[in-house]
């Protein structure tokens, strides 16, 4: 018999490994204001850069006069496209295979575009000098509506590629057209649509919004002309990719570039791409020989760095009369703004939008996405979601509701009728994915039961009667959502960014005294990696999470990785961590066997030690093994205890969840109130339940923001109307409802520890749940669909159009 | 988001501040809590060359209630208004309103003087001051004068205050009866989509002995609704009279389209807010 059950339990608990609600180790510094962000970096002789930006959405740049700015004491230089051109840096490649102006080259294409870069001794002088740069523009007609982009009188935006018939993603049919991406079976789907007994159709718009992280984007570049080394600190969600791109662009050898992501105050996709500010700070440092800092302000962040969504999704869904779905058709018009700067894997210009069959067994489907240029800021990033997954989830979860209305059927029942069944996994979807695992019916029934769904519907029906009788002005909406995500990009065979395969990595060093350092290719922006990755490792190698330091973000020390976005850190780098841990354990096993003078196969792993089979009193702890690896000569075994793993995931992971929102809506003021929000998440193996809950709360609050008011809106001249936090909705604690969280646990069969990723689920599932609640409230009065965001006036307008104001 | 250059002055008395204003002329602005002024300076919509900070003038920071009269120094912060029990006894509508302004951080800095002198139709206190029939004390190079809140506002950011004057004090009579400030906004920290201030006094016989109604952010100035007020006073408060009073108030409003919604929505919301605010004030009367 081995050690008593109780001691094994105790030792397990002491590791604080998988499944422990371990407190976040990051929070001690964050809650004391002791984090170290880009803007905290202060170097001797550091200069500051600031942009002159276009006030026009579309204009030709006639001239730029920098003389008055240069005359201001303290101004060091003013860069324009003409200065960057000899270096071939006036344009830069985007992650989507397009190129983007670093500084206006002859014309501007969106309001807020970078026109000139002022470099001065402090940021106050730089701001004053920005006002002194005189730019002469000739205004051009503005294109804001993507549906007008290909009309005969549409202005041509991208004159640089006006004649290019081929883009990065195939044929282009018009100068304002970027790509068409098609997936699935077009004739098959069309045939089903023409024959099916029931077809529901709807245009579902997921409006333009913005990740708006608390910390805006910025960088500090420092070119050391003596040793030829460039150090670049910045708000980078993918520091290694930035290093490679910086090397390719600047011609500086990659070993001479060090990229550091310090603490990052939220990313949500906004910090994946490369921005003109990064390039300009590098050039400015090379030109001046001094460190140069650039940090954008909130309005610059909202108006010029990457937006999210802006998908017009026209859907058709076919079904039998009793609600069995037969086919799904979707045509999306994607407004990409002035440059295609999406941050998707290369082969996926519309990201994983082809997950739009959702949680349902839909035999036949077709998806086409048209990317269009408009006079708006570039972007199209995955705002707290895997690439375009939130768009896909919103689309299918709205289409299900629309179909339920057409069928006059309960939307919960319609979902249950069409879920992919447990025994169908691994499931091959009509649009090309292999879903790894799931048990949707169990999750769904648990959710319906937890909220008392039947009683809620009865209450709602009563309230409609009361409303009709004139006894109340409030309606009740029940928002249902069952989402399936696709995260953890991704297998190198089909996922890359700028050619770099989307593997990730972990390198572990066990110190002689039995504590450890692990470095990863990812970078936390608030997810708590330093906490959770240590937990994965603790369970793998039997060293307490408290004795493991996790380091990320410095390309000189961390192994190459593709960074953190798309919920990929746990599925990919988390897997690399487990695999590297297993390599450590394999070597430790040889050492332990030697120390215990038995054969390798005669010992077995138990929590934190190797134990001789059948002789529990004979064991070596990982701590003892580590010490021996540095202090003893062990025949046939190299000294030291280190391992590195590069993990190429065999498949994506498919987290899912069942969310239900109950909302009370005042028909006269348009004010809505979330009465209840229940969120069941299945993210496979749960590493840290407390962090999961925190991620769910945060993601749901962002979902609330998006669904209920947050938008980037432009007027017809391309002026941004929501460029400050007065109008761009960020909920405070007052607007944030209570959330009730729950879970089921269906491990991923191909992930080393069965984990699937959770950080983005609440945004993906939350938005449809909130939006469906609003839509559902008006179902009894004939509403099929109304667009987000559901702010007061739009809800009022919906009620008004339905004649509810008498 | 960086202001233009300015010189900073911190006088310690009103005469000193007035002298600075006169000397420095057009390019000078007084600054109180800075929570309306600094945002406009950061956007460089305002670029004063001189800021005359009133924080150092102790005599401007006080709340005094005596003989049924309330006097509030211009530099009293919104947080201090909320914290004063004496003021709450004399005019509870002030606390109710101040609690609906922005968030605690803004209220620790923002002052009542700045809020009413600013002239922004989105500010909440001007309508409350009109509702209370308050008087603003202005001191200038030619001495002191007073202007009724109901006469003070001319257009957005234009008031009866001369550029060389400082608003030093607000005075009004302590009120009795029911009160309410109702505000619809998109979130904490937002200005009103529509807001209403209502004071109603109930006689022993249940009649309405006094009524006063004013509205926020529904035109380019706050709106005192004289007709609606006298309608309630003459006809008493009933669902019918409320409907007529609201209809009369709605004739005065001229909301504009903005991100809070189109004018047609604001008109509807304003009527709803005013109706519920009157009901609440009456229930408290
Ligand atoms: C996020 C945010 C949300 C807000 N929400 C609201 C809201 O919902 N409702 C609301 O009412 N307000 C709101 N405010 C504004 C806030 O209440 C301000 O504090 C107030 O409007 C101005 O007071 P202040 O003391 O800050 O004045 P300042 O900003 O210092 O001054 C404002 C103007 O008044 C002038 N001025 C100030 N004091 C005097 C004086 N004694 N004599 C003559 N002129 C003077 C200044 O020269 C300036 O032109 C908000 C502010 C912020 C930042």
Contacts of B273 in chain A (CB under 8 A): 669
pLDDT of residue A6: 67
In a domain, B2, yes or no: no
Q: How confident is the model at residue A5 (pLDDT cuts 50, 70, 90)?
A: low
**Shortest CA distance to A692 belongs to which of A767, A750, A745?**
A745
**Ligand 1 surroundings by CB, under 6 angstroms:** B 29-37, 39, 54, 74, 101-102, 106, 109-111, 113-115, 117-118, 123-125, 166-167, 189, 191
In this structure, what DSSP letter does residue A420 have?
Answer: P
Among candidate residues B131, B158, B173, the one where a domain is terminated: B173
Asked whether residue B96 falls in the same domain as residue B169, the answer is: yes
Spacing, Cα A394 to ligand 1 middle (Å): 41
Nearest Cβ partner of B186 from A299, A721, A792? A792
Can A535 be counted among the known catalytic residues? no
Report the residue of A302, A721, A726 to disrupt the B interface, i.e. the one with the largest count of B CBs within 10 Å: A726
- What is the distance between the alpha carbons of residues B273 and B253, in angstroms, rounded to a whole number? 13
Among B94, B101, B189, name the best residue to mutate to test ligand 1's pocket (greatest count of ligand atoms within 8 A of Cβ): B101
Residues 6+ apart with CB under 8 A from A288: A47, A76, A77, A119
Spacing, Cα B119 to ligand 1 middle (Å): 9
Number of domains into which chain B is organized: 3
Q: Does residue A602 sit at the B interface (CB-CB below 8 Å)?
A: no
Over residues A468-472, the mean pLDDT reads 97
CA angle at B29 for the pair B132 and A726, rounded to the nearest 5°: 65
Can A740 be counted among the known catalytic residues? no
Whether residue B91 contacts residue B175, with contact meaning beta carbons closer than 8 Å, is answered with yes
Q: Does residue A49 sit at the B interface (CB-CB below 8 Å)?
A: no
CATH of the domain at B263: 3.30.390.50
What is the SS3 string spanning A783-798?
A: CCCCCCCCCHHHHHHH
Contacts of B268 in chain A (CB under 8 A): 668, 796, 800, 805
CB A411: neighbour CB atoms within 10 A?
22
Contacts of A793 in chain B (CB under 8 A): 193, 260-262, 265
Asked whether residue B26 falls in the same domain as residue B96, the answer is: no
Asked whether residue B31 falls in the same domain as residue B69, the answer is: no
- What is the distance between the alpha carbons of residues A547 and B223, in angstroms, rounded to a whole number? 66
Q: What is the pLDDT of residues A721-749, one digit of tens each?
A: 999 999 999 999 999 999 999 999 999 99
In a domain, B235, yes or no: yes
pLDDT of residue A4: 55
Sign of torsion over alpha carbons B12, B14, B20, B23: negative
Q: What is the pLDDT of residues A144-192, one digit of tens each?
A: 999 999 999 999 999 999 999 999 999 999 999 999 999 999 999 999 9
Q: Do A729 and B186 touch (CB under 8 A)?
A: yes
C-alpha distances in Å from residue A512, one per residue of A468, A596, A622, A729: 76, 19, 10, 52
Over residues A229-255, the mean pLDDT reads 94
Contacts of B269 in chain A (CB under 8 A): 668-670, 792, 796
In a domain, B240, yes or no: yes
Asked whether residue B168 falls in the same domain as residue B185, the answer is: no
CATH of the domain at B37: 3.30.43.10
Asked whether residue B203 falls in the same domain as residue B134, the answer is: no
Q: Which residues of B142-163 are buried (b: 16+ CB within 10 A; e: fewer)?
A: eeeeebebbebbeeeeebbbee
Closest residue to atom 27 of ligand 1, CA basis: B114
Mean residue pLDDT of chain A comes to 96
In a domain, B64, yes or no: yes
Asked whether residue B230 falls in the same domain as residue B142, the answer is: no
Whether residue A777 contacts residue A480, with contact meaning beta carbons closer than 8 Å, is answered with no
Half-sphere CA count of A460, side-chain side, radius 13 A:
24
Among B78, B117, B160, B162, name the best residue to mutate to test ligand 1's pocket (greatest count of ligand atoms within 8 A of Cβ): B117
Residues 6+ apart with CB under 8 A from A625: A588, A591, A592, A595, A610, A641
In a domain, B239, yes or no: yes
Whether residue A8 contacts residue A678, with contact meaning beta carbons closer than 8 Å, is answered with no
- What is the distance between the alpha carbons of residues A197 and A319, in angstroms, rounded to a whole number? 7
Can A195 be counted among the known catalytic residues? no
Can A342 be counted among the known catalytic residues? no
pLDDT of residue A338: 98
In a domain, B275, yes or no: yes
Spacing, Cα B117 to ligand 1 middle (Å): 8
- What are the helix and strand counts (H, E) for chain A? 19, 35
Catalytic-role residue among A237, A463, A535, A695: A237
- What is the distance between the alpha carbons of residues A653 and A212, in angstroms, rounded to a whole number? 27
Whether residue A352 contacts residue A488, with contact meaning beta carbons closer than 8 Å, is answered with no
Residues 6+ apart with CB under 8 A from A361: A325, A418, A419, A420, A421, A424, A427
Six token digits for residue B112: 């009542």
C-alpha distances in Å from residue A66, one per residue of A69, A154, A167, A486, B155: 5, 33, 36, 49, 39
Over residues A302-315, the mean pLDDT reads 97
CB B141: neighbour CB atoms within 10 A?
11
A114-120 vs A47-53, strand pairing mode: antiparallel
Cα nearest neighbour of A670 on chain B: B269
Six token digits for residue A585: 């354990």
With 0-12 / 13-18 / 19 or more C-beta atoms within 10 angstroms meaning exposed / middle / buried, residue A468 is: exposed
- What is the distance between the alpha carbons of residues A150 and A219, in angstroms, rounded to a whole number? 38
Residues 6+ apart with CB under 8 A from B281: B177, B178, B179, B180, B198, B199, B200
Spacing, Cα B114 to ligand 1 middle (Å): 4
Chain A with chain B: Cβ pairs closer than 8 A = 65
In a domain, B226, yes or no: yes
Show the domain range for B261: 178-284
Question: Given a cut of 50, is residue A116 above it in pLDDT?
Answer: yes
Among candidate residues B146, B173, B200, the one where a domain is terminated: B173
Nearest Cβ partner of B265 from A298, A731, A796? A796
Q: What is the pLDDT of residues A84-106, one digit of tens each?
A: 999 999 999 999 999 999 999 99
Q: What is the pLDDT of residues A210-232, one digit of tens each?
A: 999 999 999 999 999 999 999 99
Q: What is the pLDDT of residues A376-423, one digit of tens each?
A: 999 999 999 999 999 999 999 999 999 999 999 999 999 999 999 999
Asked whether residue B70 falls in the same domain as residue B164, the answer is: yes
Asked whether residue B96 falls in the same domain as residue B142, the answer is: yes
**Shortest CA distance to B282 belongs to which of B250, B223, B241, B252?**
B241
Asked whether residue B152 falls in the same domain as residue B184, the answer is: no
- Residue in this structure with the two tokens 């990201």, named with its chain if needed: A351
Among candidate residues B154, B173, B192, the one where a domain is terminated: B173
- What is the distance between the alpha carbons of residues A289 and A793, in angstroms, rounded to a whole number? 54
Q: How confident is the model at residue A700 (pLDDT cuts 50, 70, 90)?
A: very high
Asked whether residue B159 falls in the same domain as residue B64, the answer is: yes
Which segments within A25-133 are labelled E, that is strand?
47-53, 59-65, 75-79, 91-93, 99-101, 107-108, 114-120
With 0-12 / 13-18 / 19 or more C-beta atoms within 10 angstroms meaning exposed / middle / buried, residue A225 is: exposed
CATH of the domain at B113: 3.30.465.10
Asked whether residue B141 falls in the same domain as residue B221, the answer is: no
pLDDT of residue A566: 84
Whether residue A598 contacts residue A612, with contact meaning beta carbons closer than 8 Å, is answered with yes
**Shortest CA distance to B129 belongs to which of B173, B160, B87, B168?**
B173
- What is the distance between the alpha carbons of residues A300 and A475, in angstroms, rounded to a whole number? 39
Asked whether residue B191 falls in the same domain as residue B276, the answer is: yes
CB A730: neighbour CB atoms within 10 A?
15
Phi, psi of B116 (to 5 degrees): -85, -25
Residues of B with CB under 8 A from a CB of A: 1-2, 4-5, 44, 103, 184, 186-191, 193, 259-262, 265, 268-269, 272-273
Question: Given a cut of 60, is residue A3 above it in pLDDT?
Answer: no
Q: Do A792 and B272 touch (CB under 8 A)?
A: no
CB A458: neighbour CB atoms within 10 A?
11
- What is the distance between the alpha carbons of residues B132 and B38, in angstroms, rounded to a whole number? 29
Nearest Cβ partner of A671 from B184, B188, B259? B184
Contacts of B261 in chain A (CB under 8 A): 670, 791-794, 796
Cα nearest neighbour of B190 on chain A: A726
Over residues A181-205, the mean pLDDT reads 98
Among B1, B14, B35, B109, name the best residue to mutate to test ligand 1's pocket (greatest count of ligand atoms within 8 A of Cβ): B35
Question: Given a cut of 90, is residue A249 above it in pLDDT?
Answer: no
Q: Do B189 and A726 touch (CB under 8 A)?
A: yes
- What are the helix and strand counts (H, E) for chain B? 12, 14
Question: Given a cut of 50, is residue A1 above it in pLDDT?
Answer: no
- What is the distance between the alpha carbons of residues A417 and A398, in angstroms, rounded to a whole number? 16
Nearest Cβ partner of B261 from A298, A793, A805? A793
pLDDT in tens, chain B (285 residues): 899 999 999 999 999 999 999 999 889 999 999 999 999 999 999 999 999 999 999 999 999 999 999 999 999 999 999 999 999 999 999 999 999 999 999 999 999 999 999 999 999 999 999 999 999 999 999 999 999 999 999 999 999 999 999 999 999 999 989 999 999 999 999 999 999 999 999 999 999 999 999 999 999 999 999 999 999 999 999 999 999 999 999 999 999 999 999 999 999 999 999 999 999 999 999
In a domain, B1, yes or no: no
**Structural domains of chain A sorted by starting position, each given as residue range(s) with its CATH number in brackets:** 2-35+504-647 (3.30.365.10), 43-141+216-264+272-304 (3.90.1170.50), 307-489+652-801 (3.30.365.10)
């Amino acid at each position: 018999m081995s050690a008593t059950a109780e001691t094994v339990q105790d030792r397990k608990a002491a590791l604080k490994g998988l499944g422990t609600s371990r407190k976040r180790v990051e929070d001690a510094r964050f809650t004391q204001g002791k984090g170290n962000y880009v803007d905290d970096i202060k170097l001797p002789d550091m200069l500051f850069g600031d942009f002159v930006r276009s006030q026009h959405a579309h204009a030709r740049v006639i001239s730029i006069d920098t003389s008055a700015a240069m005359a201001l004491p303290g101004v060091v230089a003013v860069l324009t496209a003409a200065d960057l051109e000899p270096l071939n840096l006036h344009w830069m490649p985007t992650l989507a295979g397009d190129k983007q102006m670093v500084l206006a080259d002859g014309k501007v294409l969106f309001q807020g575009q970078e026109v000139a870069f002022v470099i001065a001794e402090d940021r106050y002088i730089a701001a004053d000098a920005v006002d002194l740069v005189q730019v002469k523009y000739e205004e051009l007609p503005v294109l804001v509506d993507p549906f007008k982009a290909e009309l005969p009188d549409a202005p041509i935006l991208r004159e640089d590629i006006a004649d290019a018939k081929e883009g990065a993603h195939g044929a282009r049919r018009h100068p304002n057209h970027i790509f068409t991406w098609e997936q699935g079976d077009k004739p098959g789907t069309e045939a089903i649509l023409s024959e099916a007994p029931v077809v529901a159709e709807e245009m579902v718009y997921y409006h333009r919004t913005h990740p708006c992280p608390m910390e805006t984007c910025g960088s500090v570049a420092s070119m050391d002309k003596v040793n030829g080394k460039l150090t670049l600190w910045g708000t980078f969600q993918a520091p290694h990719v930035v290093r490679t791109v910086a090397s390719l662009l600047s011609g500086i050898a990659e070993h001479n570039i060090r990229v550091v992501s310090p603490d990052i105050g939220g990313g949500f996709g906004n910090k994946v791409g490369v921005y003109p500010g990064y390039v300009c700070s590098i050039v400015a440092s090379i030109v001046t020989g001094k460190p140069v800092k650039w940090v954008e302000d909130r309005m610059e962040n909202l108006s010029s760095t990457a937006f999210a969504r802006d998908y017009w999704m026209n859907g058709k869904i076919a079904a039998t009369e009793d609600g069995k779905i037969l086919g799904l058709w979707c045509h999306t018009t994607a407004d990409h703004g002035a440059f295609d700067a999406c941050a998707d894997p290369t082969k996926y210009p519309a990201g994983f939008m082809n997950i739009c069959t959702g949680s349902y067994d839909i035999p036949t489907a077709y998806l086409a996405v048209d990317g269009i240029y408009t006079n708006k800021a570039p972007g199209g990033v995955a705002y707290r979601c895997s690439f375009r997954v939130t768009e896909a989830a919103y689309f299918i979860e709205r289409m299900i509701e629309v179909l339920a209305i057409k069928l006059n059927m309960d939307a919960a029942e319609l979902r249950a009728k069409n879920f992919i069944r447990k025994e169908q996994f691994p499931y091959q979807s009509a649009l090309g994915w292999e879903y790894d695992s799931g048990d949707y019916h169990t999750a769904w029934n648990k959710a319906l039961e937890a909220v008392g769904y039947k009683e809620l519907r009865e209450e709602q029906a009563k309230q409609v009667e009361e409303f009709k009788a004139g006894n109340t002005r409030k309606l009740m909406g029940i928002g249902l959502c069952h989402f399936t995500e696709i995260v953890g990009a991704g297998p190198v065979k089909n996922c890359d960014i700028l050619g770099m395969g989307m593997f990730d990595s972990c390198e572990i060093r066990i110190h002689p005294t039995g504590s450890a350092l692990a470095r990863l290719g990812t970078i936390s922006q608030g997810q708590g990696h330093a906490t959770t990755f240590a937990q994965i490792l603790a369970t793998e190698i039997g060293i307490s999470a408290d004795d493991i330091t996790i380091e990320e973000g410095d390309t000189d020390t961390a192994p190459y990785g593709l960074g953190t976005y798309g919920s990929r850190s746990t599925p990919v780098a988390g897997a690399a961590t487990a695999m590297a841990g297993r390599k450590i354990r394999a070597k430790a096993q040889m050492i332990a066997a030697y120390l215990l003078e038995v054969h390798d196969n005669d010992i077995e792993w138990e929590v934190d030690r190797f134990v001789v089979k059948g002789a529990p009193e004979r064991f070596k702890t990982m701590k003892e093994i580590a010490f021996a690896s540095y202090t003893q000569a062990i025949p046939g075994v190299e000294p030291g205890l280190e391992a590195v793993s590069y993990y190429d995931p065999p498949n994506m992971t498919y987290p899912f969840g069942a969310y239900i929102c109950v909302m009370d809506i005042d028909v006269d003021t348009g004010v809505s109130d979330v009465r209840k929000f229940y969120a069941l998440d299945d993210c496979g193996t749960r590493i840290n339940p407390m962090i999961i809950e925190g991620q769910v709360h945060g993601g749901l609050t962002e979902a609330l923001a998006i669904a209920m008011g947050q938008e980037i809106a432009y007027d017809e001249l391309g002026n941004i109307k929501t460029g400050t936090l007065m109008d761009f909705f960020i909920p405070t604690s007052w607007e944030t409802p209570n959330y009730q969280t729950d879970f089921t646990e269906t491990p991923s069969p191909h992930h080393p520890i069965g984990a699937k990723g959770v950080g983005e689920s609440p945004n993906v599932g939350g938005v449809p749940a909130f939006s469906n609640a609003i839509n559902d409230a008006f179902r009894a009065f004939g509403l099929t669909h109304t667009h987000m965001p559901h702010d007061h006036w739009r809800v009022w307008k919906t009620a008004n159009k339905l004649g509810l104001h008498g | 988001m960086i202001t233009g250059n300015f010189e900073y002055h911190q006088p310690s008395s009103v005469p000193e501040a007035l002298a600075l204003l006169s000397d420095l002329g057009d390019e000078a602005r007084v600054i109180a809590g800075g929570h309306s002024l600094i945002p406009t300076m950061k956007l460089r919509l305002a670029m004063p060359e001189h800021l005359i900070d009133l924080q150092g003038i102790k005599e401007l920071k006080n709340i005094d209630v005596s003989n049924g009269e309330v006097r509030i120094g211009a530099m009293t912060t919104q947080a201090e208004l909320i914290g004063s029990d004496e003021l709450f006894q004399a005019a509870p509508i002030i606390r109710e309103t101040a609690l609906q302004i922005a968030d605690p951080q803004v209220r620790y800095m923002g002052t009542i003087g700045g809020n009413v002198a600013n002239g922004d139709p989105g500010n909440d206190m001007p309508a409350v001051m009109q509702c209370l029939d308050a008087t603003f004390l202005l001191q200038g190079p030619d001495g002191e004068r007073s202007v009724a809140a109901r006469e003070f506002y001319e257009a957005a950011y234009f008031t009866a205050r001369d550029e060389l004057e400082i608003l030093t004090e607000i005075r009004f009579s302590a009120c009795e009866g029911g009160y309410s400030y109702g505000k619809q906004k998109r979130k904490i920290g937002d200005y009103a989509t529509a807001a209403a201030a209502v004071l109603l006094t109930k006689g022993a016989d249940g009649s309405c002995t006094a009524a006063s109604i004013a509205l926020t952010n529904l035109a380019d100035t706050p709106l005192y609704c004289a007709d609606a007020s006298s309608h309630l006073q003459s006809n008493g408060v009933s669902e019918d009279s409320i409907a007529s009073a609201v209809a009369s108030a709605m004739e005065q409003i001229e909301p504009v389209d903005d991100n809070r919604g189109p004018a047609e929505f604001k008109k509807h919301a304003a009527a709803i807010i005013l109706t519920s605010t009157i009901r609440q004030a009456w229930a408290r009367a």
